[in-house]
Each structure stands twice: as structure tokens, then as C-alpha cells.
Structure 1
Amino acid sequence: MKAFFSPALRVASHSLRLHLRDRFFGLFLLFALLLIYSSLLVGVMAVYQERRALMDFGLALMELMGLAFCVYASATAVSSEVETKTIYLVFSRPVPRHSYLLGKMLAVFGAAAVLLAATAVMHSSLLLLRGHAPDGLYFAALGYSWLKLTLISSLVFAVSMFSTSALSSMVIGFILWMLGHFAPETVFMAAQAGGEGSPLEFLARLIPNFQLFNFKDALDVPGAAAPPALALAYAAAWWAGSYGFAWALLRRKEF
């Protein structure tokens, strides 16, 4: 186990530092902070529901900025090192490919957590400024958002192993994100188009159900989001599946 996780943690630590120093990370963070600050205008317009408007708008903006960063970082994590030949230097050392891939994925997960935490500090400050203290549900929503971001990151990692370019990986990632928010509807439409048990329905069921992580909806509709244990288990299953698929493709590549 040590031989597996030790190289992975070293790769994760190094890659996380690179992500945090990347100018794109800074741009995503700055843009997110500016948008969150602008959410004050939404709160002013929602006179009688200011707290809810500020929370919903801010959480949505944090999630979208996190999505943009995670899709970009996951799509370029391996391909950029292939283009710069850095990956040859990495594999010339005792770093197994499975540990390398795990480290890269953990680095993006960690960067997503840092991005959410930084924007949450700004958003919480604005809420306090307007007299609305964040509660436990607010931080639970942040946790669910992080699970969504890590899930889409793992999927983009898997896609990037067979995609022809980083751009196509990002496009597929955004498409999966949109379809995942309408997963039940997508399965229903696929079943109607191709019939019950058709290959089209099977493919539709391979799309992750991001509605399970919409904790903001659970504030109005109890049971809209999955319980924490189920949400974590669902995300972990997709992490494992995406990692296994990506590793199976990475091990076949010649570097």
C-alpha cells in the first residue's frame, strides 16, 4: 500500500502547487470573487428573500467557476505534460502509472477544495455584511458542490485518455455536466426513443445523476438531494470507475 500511495501523494502535492500557481487558477478565482460581489445586486432586488437569493446565487456562481476550473485542469493535467515531454521525466523515476494518475486526480480534487474555500470566505463575508450568518446547511451545500466537481473531474480525466485534444475533452465534460443535471429525463427520453432496454437507454444510464448533489433544492423540497452517505458512496463509485477506465487506457500508451 505504501508503494502505491507514497508516489501518488508526492505527485499530488507537486501538481497541487502547480495548479495553485497557475495563472488560470488565479483568473478563475478573481472572476468568481467579482461575480460573487456582484450578487449583492441580486440580493437588493429580492427585497423579501434577500438571504435566499444571496445564498443561491453565490453558491451557483461558486459551483460554475469550480466547474470551469476543474474541467480545464482535468483535461490538461496529463496532455500538457505529454506535449512538454515532462511525462517522460516522471516515468523515468520510480513512479508507477497508476500512482501518477491517482496523484493527478487528487491534485485537481484538492485545487477544487481550495477554490471553493476561498470563494466561500468571500461569500460568507458578504452574507455577514448583509446580516445573514451562514448556517450548517450552507456548508453542507458546499460539500455537495465539491462532490459534484470531483465527480466531473474524474470523468474528464477518463475522457482525456482517449480524446484527441484537451479542447474536445473539455467540450465533452461540459456536455456531461449538462446532461447529468437532467439524467432522469435523459433516461426517460432514451427509453421512449429506443424502447425499454435499448442500447440508447443503456448509454443514457451511464450518465451520472448530478441531481443527487443539488443540496440547494433540498432547502425547499425535502429529499431532493441524496443523504450524505449515499451521495459520498455514489461519488466514490464514479471516482473508482473513472480512475479504473483512465488507468486501463494510460497503461497502454507508449511514452
Structure 2
Amino acid sequence: MSDDGRSPDDPLSRFLHADSGALLFVREVLSSALAVAFVGLLLFAIAGVWPPMVAVESGSMEPHMERGDLVFITEPDRFAPDAAYGDTGVVTYETGSETGYSTFGMAGSVVVYRPPGEGGPPIIHRARLHVEQGENWVDRANTDYLPANSCDRVPSCPAPYDGFITKGDANSQYDQVSGIAPVVKTEWVRGVARVRVPYLGYVRLVFSEAVLAQSNPPVGVVSGTDSAATTTTDAASDPTPTPVVGVR
């Protein structure tokens, strides 16, 4: 009899006590899968959003986030600071500069957002301003990131609706000026970045690029027009579900 009272020939006993062969391999695989599932469920319970981790695919947030970083995100209204705008859970760069709230090396929150119908991975950039419908937000913006000082010469000005003006820390213009995204509505924000772990995101990026290369053999050269450009696959079309998606 085994220590748990089962016969050594019992299938469960053989499975639990095998020290070699196929049963050991299956047991180790199942143990690893259960451990990953447990960690994923724990992170989801904390984050309130799935997936709770994103892998940075581009250099648009350098030097505060690098390509290959793994970033833990939460639902916007979780752990929201007092400086957040209304009930969005997001602190803009403008407000953060006034209140002293900063994340990832600069004032304000870094958000993960995706406009509806937009192809490619979600975007991870910093919220710079919150604007209201019809507002001439150029008067509050940093002119270094604008093509002109006049609202009628700047895209998305006046603001077509309430939302956020965003920008990658390494980019030379606001997302709404460069064509990366329109004014970001609150409901488009999928999460707020909380913790960055260097290099761990490379596992996901390498796998995605391998899948993309296999499914789409190269037929030419494609050049990007902004540092937010990405060469990896859209998380929505990734055939292997993972607790990590890529963001640009």
C-alpha cells in the first residue's frame, strides 16, 4: 500500500508516484499548466482585466518602456488616484504635472487603448490631456508636438467629442496629430499600466513573429512612418491564446 492508502497498482497512485516515463512527463506538464492557470487567475483577480499583461512591441515609449518589456495593467478604475479625471481612473500629463503624480518616468498615466475597428495590436501611450467636445485644446497643448498653433490647422481640433489626447513618450507629435488614433474615448481605454518588467515580453514577441513569418512569407519591404509602427501580429488574430498580448 502507498502512503495514502492506495494500492501501488491503482492508476492514480501510479500517476502520482511515477518517477520516469510517460506518466512523469504528463504529470509535470499538467502541474506546469495548473501553475500557469493559477497565476493567471490570481493576476486577473488583481487586475480586473484580461489579459493582465502586455508585451511592448515598439519603441514609441522609450526610454520609459522598451521593446520587449512586459507590462502589468489593471482596469482603469482600480487603484485610481485622487488626481484621476472624473471616474476614468486616468491621470493626464497635464494634471500629473500639477499634482506631482507620475508613472514610468513622467507625469500622468500610461494607458492601453484600441479604437473600435482599428487593426493591429492595442496602443500603449501616455494620456496627455482630457478634452471636451468642441474644445480648442491647442491652447493647452505643448506646441512642440503640434504642426501649427491654430486650432483650424490641427487634426481633431476642435475636439469632436470628450476624450483623451495621447502621445508616445518617444514620438514627436500627439497621436491625434500624427494619425495614430483619433481622440481617445474613455471606453476605448482597456487598462492602465502599473508595473514594467524588462525583457520578459520578448518571449511573446518572438513567438508572434515566428507565427507571422510562417503564415505570411515575406514578399517585399514595408517601411514604417512612425516609431509606433509594429511588425508583429495582431493579438486578435494570434492563433495561440496567451495571457499576454502585444501593444505598440
Task: Identify, as 1 or 2, the structure richer in helix.
Answer: 1
Larger Rg: 2
Q: Could you say whether these structures have the same fold, taking a TM-score greater than 0.5 normalized by the shorter chain as the test? A: no
Report the TM-score, using the length of structure 1 for normalisation: 0.20
Report the TM-score, using the length of structure 2 for normalisation: 0.20
